[in-house]
Amino acid sequence: MVAVSRSKKKDPAVIQALENLLQDVTAGDPSTGMKWTHKSIRRLCRTLRRQGFSIGRTTVRRLLHQRKYCLRTNRKRLAGTHDKDRDRQFRYLVRQRHRYLKHGWPVISVDTKTKELVGNFKNPGRCWRRRERAVLDHDFRRYAVGIGIPYGIYDEGRNAGFVVLGVSHDTAAFAIAAIRQWWLQVGQKHYSKAKRWLIEADGGGSNGSRNWLWKAGLQALADEFQVIIAVSHTPPGASKWNLIDHRMFSLISENWAGEPLESYAVMLKWIQKTRSETGFTCRACLDRGCYPTGGKITEEEKATIHLKPRRVLPKWNYTIWPHKPAPKYWPDKDKC
C-alpha cells in the first residue's frame, strides 16, 4: 500500500487518482472557478484505499480544498419554463413600480403562502429550548384542528406586511376579500388620497392572469372604493421573483421555524411578531369565511368588467377601471 505524506508537498499519484474519481461527478461555477462533487469524502477515501493508497479523510478533505472544491447544496435557480418575454415583463414591472411609488400610490405584492396543517405537528426548523417538545408522529389531516391558508399583502412603499389567515379554500374570492381587508384596516389610513393601486401577482393560482373570477373581484373592489387598479403578473416559472416571497414569507417561515402551529391564535401570533433589521413589520387577522371552489363566470359577467389591457404585454398587464355610480354594498360571505 502506498502511504500518502501529510506534508505540504503533493503526492502526484494520489492527486491523479483523486481527479480520475471526480472527473465524471464534478460541477462548478465558470465565473469563480469553484467546484463541487456529489461524492462524499468517506466514499472517496474508501475508493482510494481500494486502489492501494493509505489515506485518511482529513487528507482527502485537504486535497479537495486545494483543488478548489467546497460543500454545496442545490439551489432553485432554473425555471421549468422560460417565456421569451420574461425579461421585458420584469423591466416593465420595475418601471411601473417606480412610477407608482414616486406618486405615493400603493404598490402591493400579493400571493398565497404554503398551506399549513393546524395542530401539534412537527414544523421544519430548530429553535432554542431547554427540553425537546413532543409532537404527533404522523401529519394526518384528520388529526388537525383545521388548515391555515395565509394570503399575504406586502406593501412595498412602507416595507410592511398584512396576512389574512383563511380556513376554507384558496380561491379568487378569498384573495379579493384579503385585499379588501388590507385596504380597510391599513391601506386607506396611509393612502387615503390615492386613486390608483398597483398589484403585483403571480401568473397562476387564485390571482392568476387568466382567472376571470379574480378580475371580477378586482372590478368589485374598484367599484366599491372608486379606484383604478393596475395589475402586473410575473411570467410563468418566475413566481419566486415576486417580492413578497423573499421580503415577507421567508421572514415568517424563519420566525416560526421549529414551533408547532397548534392553533390559529398561535399562527397569528408568530406572523404578527415577525420583524426584520430593515424595519419590516406585519399585521394579521383571521378570516373564517367559507369560499367554495368551482366558481364560474358567464360571458355576460365578463362583459361588465371594465378591463383595459396595457400596450406592453397585455396578457400580463391590464387595468381595471371603476363603474359609476359605485355599488352601495358588499355581499356578505357565509361562515364555515
Domains contained in the chain, number: 2
**Cβ distance 231 to 318 under 8 Å?**
yes
Q: Are residues 15 and 162 in the same domain?
A: no
For residue 122, what pLDDT is reported?
A: 92
**Three-state secondary structure call for residue 290:** coil
> Does 49 reside within a domain?
yes
Q: Are residues 60 and 109 in the same domain?
A: no
pLDDT(327) > 60: no
Q: Are residues 176 and 101 in the same domain?
A: yes
Domain of 27, in residue numbers = 9-66
Q: Are residues 179 and 278 in the same domain?
A: yes
**Cβ distance 141 to 117 under 8 Å?**
yes
Q: Are residues 127 and 183 in the same domain?
A: yes
Neighbours of 335 (CB within 10 A): 9
> Does 77 reside within a domain?
no
**Cβ distance 182 to 199 under 8 Å?**
no
| Mean local confidence (pLDDT), 80-106 | 91
In this structure, what is the dihedral angle of CA atoms 75, 80, 85, 90, given to the nearest 10 degrees?
-30
Whole-number mean pLDDT of the chain? Answer: 87
pLDDT band at 180 (very low <50, low <70, confident <90, very high): very high
Q: Are residues 41 and 161 in the same domain?
A: no
> Does 78 reside within a domain?
no
> Does 335 reside within a domain?
no
Q: Are residues 104 and 251 in the same domain?
A: yes
Q: Are residues 218 and 97 in the same domain?
A: yes
Q: Are residues 241 and 108 in the same domain?
A: yes
Q: Are residues 25 and 173 in the same domain?
A: no
Q: Are residues 103 and 39 in the same domain?
A: no
Q: How far apart are CA 53 and CA 2, in angstroms?
A: 5
Q: Are residues 115 and 50 in the same domain?
A: no
> Does 201 reside within a domain?
yes
Q: How far apart are CA 321 and CA 241, in angstroms?
A: 27
> Does 331 reside within a domain?
no
> Does 72 reside within a domain?
no
CATH code of residue 253: 3.30.420.10
User: Which of 119-128, 159-168, 183-192, 294-303 is predicted least confidently?
Assistant: 119-128
For residue 6, what pLDDT is reported?
A: 47
> Does 258 reside within a domain?
yes
> pTM higher than 0.85 for the full model?
no
